[in-house]
Structure formats: structure tokens, C-alpha cells
Structure 1
Amino acid sequence: MSQTSPSGPGALRLIFPQWQGASGPSTHQLHPGVDAHDTQLSFNLGPALLELLSPDHDGPTAHVPVSTDTSDEALATVDGIYARGAVVRQLTAALTILRDAAPESVVTFGGECSVSVAPFSHLASVYGEDLAVLWIDAHPDTSVPGDSYTGFHSMALATLAGEGDAGIIAELPALISPSKILQVGLRQWDDEGIAVKERLGIKSVGIMDTSEDSRRVLDWIAGTGATQLAVHIDLDILDRRDFTNSVGTNTDGMRMSELVRLIADVSTVANIAGLSLTEHLPVELMRLGGLLRNLPI
């Protein structure tokens, strides 16, 4: 029915290297041997590499300006959200780009997961109830302010569903009904966000181990009546045997071939209007950057 990637005159490639939503004191523990400053900016480098490695794009490309200020003032926790000031400014900038460009489809190369909030909300304003969301992620991302973890990336999906920070939600052009959201590959069932997920009634399916497993997703899409899809992919969904440059150390994730098959399968029943790739952590390159700064070059 459609191609497996958004393309054509209505397509926008959005480069959004936001890192603040996944930051905080605990982030440094994820990257042993990496300078603390580099760790704060860990998700900032990934989108540039995704853009470099991706196929040529003949449509428009836009870059969301993202601050690299790691001062205590810039990263202050406000209303239960770490670095809320930066998160709100950058979300507003992304929404302005989308409003002015008015794309019919968006590919986002992002830092942490909350970069999907702006493009998916934009697409919801374009397609309304005809849009459904596949949230392919090991984590639910349905936490809310007041939970113990204050990173906004853990609140991204709840925000899109209208739960969370009222000021941020008020800025969005459209919300997405929980009935039009399916989580795929969820593994972190001890996350605080599970309570919100269950209260909202957001459905989920596990890892897509076989080709028959795609049928559960296809049946769900058919049940929504949607013909347009926004697909969020957090690279932590991938099995460590295939990909190591993301959060997590488990080998119970989705294989790359399974992810590619799933995207190809869903594209036969709905148009993929949005696709986000997030949370690429090029740790070895971060270490290399630290070396380069200490050499006389």
C-alpha cells in the first residue's frame, strides 16, 4: 500500500538532537569511562550520525536548535521535569518549524524519546482520528511529573495522550487518543509509568519474534480504522547481539531483521506518515572525542 519510509513532496526530515530529557545524575552511570560533560550531551551526537548514515533525502531538512548548556541553572528541575526550561523552548522551536513547513510526513532523527512529541502531535493535527501510533520501545514512556525519575523522555507518550505537564500539553496542536496507541516490545514492566499506561488503557504487544507475530499489530491497526501511522523507534528495543550503542545490556530485545520486517508489514496496511529514530548513544565515539581534546591537534 505504501513505502516503508515517508517520502515525497510533503516529507520533512527533522534533526532534533535534544538530550536534556534523558539527562540527570543517573545518566553518567550508563557510560563508564566517558567524561561527565560528554555524558550529559550523550544523546546530542546520535542524530547527526543517523543523518550521515541514512539514504539521501531529496525533500526539505530542518534542524531544531538545541542548547548544550550544562550549567546547574540551565538544567534545573522545575515542576517535576529536569531541565524543563530547555525542554519547553526546544519543543516550541520544533512545533514552530512544523507549523511553518506544514509537512504531510516527518522523519525525525532525534536524541532522546521526547523528540517524537512535536512531530507526532503535528501529524495528529493533520490526520486527526485517521492517525495511529506504534511506540516501539523497551520502556513505556508514560511517566508523569511527580514520579521519582524526572527526565521528560520518560513522559513523552503520556504527554501525547494528554497526561502530564498541563503547560506543555497546552502547547501541542493535537493529542492522540490512548485507543490509537500501541506499545511494541515493552520490557520494563517495573517502570513507574506502567500505572498511567494501564489507567489510560494503552495496549501493548511483546517482542516480534516471528513473522506470525506481526499479525497482532496488523489486527490492532485494522481495529483502529486508521490509515496513517506514526512510528516511534527507540533503539533500546534492539537486541544487544545486533546493536550496542543504546541504553541497556539485555539480549532479550528485538533483532534488527525482526524490526525491519515489522515496519515492512505495517506499511502494507497503512501509510507511514511519521517515523522517529531515537536514543542512539555512540559511546565509543564519545570516548574518542575525549581523546582528541587531549591531543595537540
Structure 2
Amino acid sequence: MTQSSPTGPGALRLIFPQWQGASGPSTHQLHPGVDAHDSQLSFNLGPALLELLSPDHDGPTAYVPVSTDTSDEALATVDGIYARDAVVRQLTDALAILREAAPESVVTFGGDCSVSVAPFSHLASVYGDDLAVLWVDAHPDTGVPGDSYTGFHSMALATLAGEGDAGILAALPALIPPAKILQVGLRQWDAEGIAVKERLGIKSVGITDTSADSRRILDWIAGTGAAQLAVHIDLDILDRRDFTNLPGNGSDGMRIADLVRLVADVSTVANIAGLSLTEHIPVELMRLAGLLRDLPI
């Protein structure tokens, strides 16, 4: 199979700057030099930058409208989900865009990790059992309502696998069987999320930095029988030696060259019908935005 990517005519580029999936300003520890309002919106600016920096796109582009209201009322925790009203409204809008566009492939620029729920569910409705998911993320994202952490981005993968809020699950056009999901690069987790992951039977592999590691993933894809892939990439997977706009100080992540090689390797055995890039926190640009607001310009 020749290398392929979800671009070109008919491929939808979805810009989804959702930030409400992250639970409160303490999630980002109020980045130094960034005010509290901007800190909560830290995942909101990233998608526009990803779009600006990306290669030219010859297919359609759609924008999911996302509120920037950080009032207590707008961000109220309901049924165990922080800012549930905003999350549900924006998920509904994203699904409506996907229904109307009816794309066979989708590139999504987010936003917090939950932006992958709508496009991956859409692709599952298009391809059924022929779709498998690679979830490349430092975190499991298999939390559920009632856990101690209430941000919906920590529940994204469990939701796609059919575990979570009943109202949100009912709105999705399709779910993805846990046997068709592989986590890649998991290195930060909590007991609640891991318990759900293990109960669902979602498999995982660690950081991939050799061709042998890629072979394990290729063998897993072959075992699923899927010819289509949806690949979620949370930028927190990256090593800080390559990408500094990340929380924490560790250098135990995936190198950029290894991530590019992994995506190239899997595209030789399956068509990449979905690709999400999420959780870019452009802290320096957020500080710059604050400066611009304070200058007489």
C-alpha cells in the first residue's frame, strides 16, 4: 500500500479550538506572565497557529464555534463534567458540520483532546469495523464522570469506546470497539483512568524510538483487520528537547523524528483517514498577546 494522508479534495480540515475540556485554571497552573482568563483559554489559540503553519490545503475547511466565556456559570460542573453545557453544545456543532460535509477523511486542529471525539466518531460511522484508532498521548484519556478529575479531555477515549456520559454517548453517530484502539506513548496516568482502560481491554505500547517498536504497532494494525486509521496526537507526547511549549520538565517523551517515522510507517499498511493534533499551548504568544493589550496600539 502506498503512503497516504488525509489531505486533498474531499478531505475536511476541522478547526476546533475547544478549551473547556480542561478542568479549570489550575490545570495549567496559571502560566507565569499569563493572566487567569488567558490561562484558561490556553488551548484556544493553538489551532489557529497550527492552521497558519500547515501546508496549503486544497479541500474544505470548517470552524467549530467555541465560546470564550470563563464565568463560573459557563464553566459549571454538571453530571461530573466540567463546563458540560459548553462541551455538549460544541460537540453538537462539530457533529452537525461533519454530517453536512460528509467527509471521508478529516484533519482536526485542536484544542483539548476531546476535539477528536466528533471526527473519530464520524469516521467510525463511515468505515465501521474497517477503522482502527491510534491514540498517541502521554495520558490514557479513559476517565469517566464521577472521577476526581472532571475535565472532559480526560474522558475522550473512554467516550469513543462507549464508556461515559449517557447523553453524550447517545449523540455520537458511532462508537469504536476497544479492541480497535491502541494507545501509544502512555507514561502519565491516574489509577481511575487506568482502571477503566484495563476493564475495557484497551492495549498500549510505550514510547516508540526504534523500528522494532513500530513493528509492534504494525502487527497490531494487521491483527485488527482494519484498512483505515484515525490517529490522535496530543503534543504532550513530545520530548521537551524538541518542543518546549509543554507542561512539566521531563525529557522522556517521543522525539519529533520518531513521531514522523511512526506515522509514515503506519501509513504503509493502512489509509490515514483521520489525524488530530491537539493541546498546543503557545505560552510565549499568550504573553505577547497580553503585552499587546497593554500597549497604546
Shorter chain as normaliser: what TM range?
over 0.9
1:31·1:283 contact (CA, 8 Å) conserved in 2?
Answer: yes
> Separation in 2 of the partners of 1:192 and 1:30?
25
1:145 aligned partner: 145
Tell whether 2:134 aligns with 1:134.
yes
Task: Note the residue ranges of structure 2 that are not aligned, 5 or more in a row.
Answer: none
1:43 aligned partner: 43
> Separation in 2 of the partners of 1:175 and 1:96?
17
1:215 aligned partner: 215
1:159 aligned partner: 159
Structure 2 matches for 1:1-297, cutoff 5 A?
1-29=1-29, 31-297=31-297
How far has the Cα of 1:124 moved from its partner?
0.1
Whichever residue aligns with residue 9 of structure 1, its letter is P
> Separation in 1 of the partners of 2:136 and 2:172?
22
| Compared CA separation, residues 274 and 162, structure 1 to 2 (3 A) | same
Q: Percent identity?
A: 89
How far has the Cα of 1:2 moved from its partner?
4.1
2:8·2:57 contact (CA, 8 Å) conserved in 1?
Answer: no
1:82·1:152 contact (CA, 8 Å) conserved in 2?
Answer: yes
How far has the Cα of 1:3 moved from its partner?
3.6
1:144·1:165 contact (CA, 8 Å) conserved in 2?
Answer: yes
| Compared CA separation, residues 195 and 30, structure 1 to 2 (3 A) | farther
Whichever residue aligns with residue 43 of structure 1, its letter is F
Secondary structure, counterpart of 1:22 in structure 2:
coil
> Separation in 1 of the partners of 2:25 and 2:66?
20
Whichever residue aligns with residue 140 of structure 2, its letter is P
| Deviation per residue, 1:164-207 (Å, 9 max, x gap) | 10000000000000000000000014352100000000000000
> Separation in 1 of the partners of 2:244 and 2:191?
22
How far has the Cα of 1:246 moved from its partner?
2.6
Secondary structure, counterpart of 1:218 in structure 2:
helix
Whichever residue aligns with residue 205 of structure 1, its letter is V
How far has the Cα of 1:25 moved from its partner?
3.9
Superposed CA RMSD in Å reads 1.0
How far has the Cα of 1:212 moved from its partner?
1.7
1:9·1:59 contact (CA, 8 Å) conserved in 2?
Answer: yes
> Separation in 2 of the partners of 1:141 and 1:284?
27
Whichever residue aligns with residue 200 of structure 1, its letter is L
Secondary structure, counterpart of 1:129 in structure 2:
helix
> Separation in 2 of the partners of 1:206 and 1:96?
35
> Separation in 1 of the partners of 2:43 and 2:264?
27
Secondary structure, counterpart of 1:193 in structure 2:
helix
> Separation in 1 of the partners of 2:230 and 2:79?
29
| Deviation per residue, 1:143-171 (Å, 9 max, x gap) | 00000110000000000000010000000
Secondary structure, counterpart of 1:182 in structure 2:
strand
How far has the Cα of 1:28 moved from its partner?
4.2
2:25·2:39 contact (CA, 8 Å) conserved in 1?
Answer: no
1:2·1:272 contact (CA, 8 Å) conserved in 2?
Answer: no
Whichever residue aligns with residue 252 of structure 2, its letter is D
> Separation in 2 of the partners of 1:227 and 1:293?
49
2:30·2:36 contact (CA, 8 Å) conserved in 1?
Answer: no
1:236·1:248 contact (CA, 8 Å) conserved in 2?
Answer: no
2:28·2:247 contact (CA, 8 Å) conserved in 1?
Answer: no
Q: Which runs of 4+ in 1 moved over 4 A?
A: none
> Separation in 2 of the partners of 1:268 and 1:28?
37
1:21·1:82 contact (CA, 8 Å) conserved in 2?
Answer: yes
How far has the Cα of 1:34 moved from its partner?
1.2
> Separation in 1 of the partners of 2:2 and 2:190?
37
The more displaced of 164-173 and 18-27 is 18-27
1:30·1:247 contact (CA, 8 Å) conserved in 2?
Answer: no
How far has the Cα of 1:247 moved from its partner?
3.0
Task: Note the residue ranges of structure 1 that are not aligned, 5 or more in a row.
Answer: none
> Separation in 1 of the partners of 2:8 and 2:25?
42
